[in-house]
Amino acid sequence: MTEARTPDEVKAEVLEVAQELYRKGLVEGTSGNVSGRMPGGETVCITPSSVAYLPMTIDDLVVIDLDGEVVDGERSPSSEKGLHLACYQAFPEVGGVIHSHPVYATMFALAREPVPAVIEEFVVFVGGDVPCAEYATTGTDAVGEELVKHLADRSAALIANHGMCSIGATAERALHTALVVERSAQIVWGARLLGKVHDIPDEVNTNFAGVYRWMRENGM
């Protein structure tokens, strides 16, 4: 189970994860966004709109309620706040949400093709193939509404012609999922150049999907 944390600890994690997201090359400039559910579950700490990641500070972060109204902070919340709020409203076990633009996963999003679960650890941490949500205009509530259709039994979904959303018990775990998906997308892309990509046996996929469900239900 995820241990209870203070508001300051959640804010510190959101900032650290946002900066690591940039360092790992999953976003460029001020694109993408990170959030974490605050203690009590009724508010969310989210990165601000149009602020570069590396010089970003705790004071730049914004706290919003589940209706999207600012309750703490001087800046405007990310323009993609609707995507984050849709995930928190739909899944009470989710404590962190990341919207990223990783290169290889986004290639799959442009092709509107799922990232296949052909690596064992992928199934454990993601739940199975990463589906691609139907297209919706960026910055609209429709993006979140479409994404949550695909995240009930997955920790990541592609955003058609745009990027990826990953979720987790914390923002840090959502980042781990994003990194696993991006690395797997790169490996699959390269393997397809070599020839046929072979699937994991169905029984193994089913067993590891069970591990994923247990981890998600228990906040791990």
The pair phi, psi for residue 127, each rounded to 5°, is 105, -15
**pLDDT for the residue numbered 2:** 60
Does any domain span residue 178? yes
pLDDT in tens, 191-215: 999 999 999 999 988 999 999 999 9
pLDDT in tens, 49-86: 999 999 999 999 999 999 999 999 999 999 999 999 99
Does any domain span residue 104? yes
**pLDDT for the residue numbered 67:** 96
Residue 1 has pLDDT above 60, yes or no: no
Does any domain span residue 2? no
Read off the pLDDT of each residue in 86-110 and give the average, rounded to a whole number.
98
Q: Share the mean pLDDT of the chain.
A: 95
Tally of structural domains, the chain: 1
Residue 28: both structure tokens together? 């460029």
Query: Please, which pLDDT band fits residue 220 given cuts at 50, 70 and 90?
Result: confident
Tell me whether residue 69 is one of the annotated catalytic residues. Answer: no
Q: Are 178 and 102 in contact (CB under 8 A)?
A: yes
Query: Please, which pLDDT band fits residue 4 given cuts at 50, 70 and 90?
Result: confident
In Å, how far are 116, 183, 194, 203, 208 from 198, measured between CA atoms? 10, 17, 12, 14, 17
Catalytic residue chosen out of the listed positions 42, 74, 80, 203: 80
**pLDDT for the residue numbered 219:** 86
Domain extent, residue 52, equals 7-217
CATH of the domain at 58: 3.40.225.10
Any idea which residue has 């995820």 for tokens?
2
Percent of the chain having pLDDT more than 90? 93
Does any domain span residue 1? no
φ/ψ region of 129 (left if φ > 0, alpha if ψ in -120 to 50, else beta) reads beta
Q: How far apart are CA 137 and CA 155, in angstroms?
A: 22
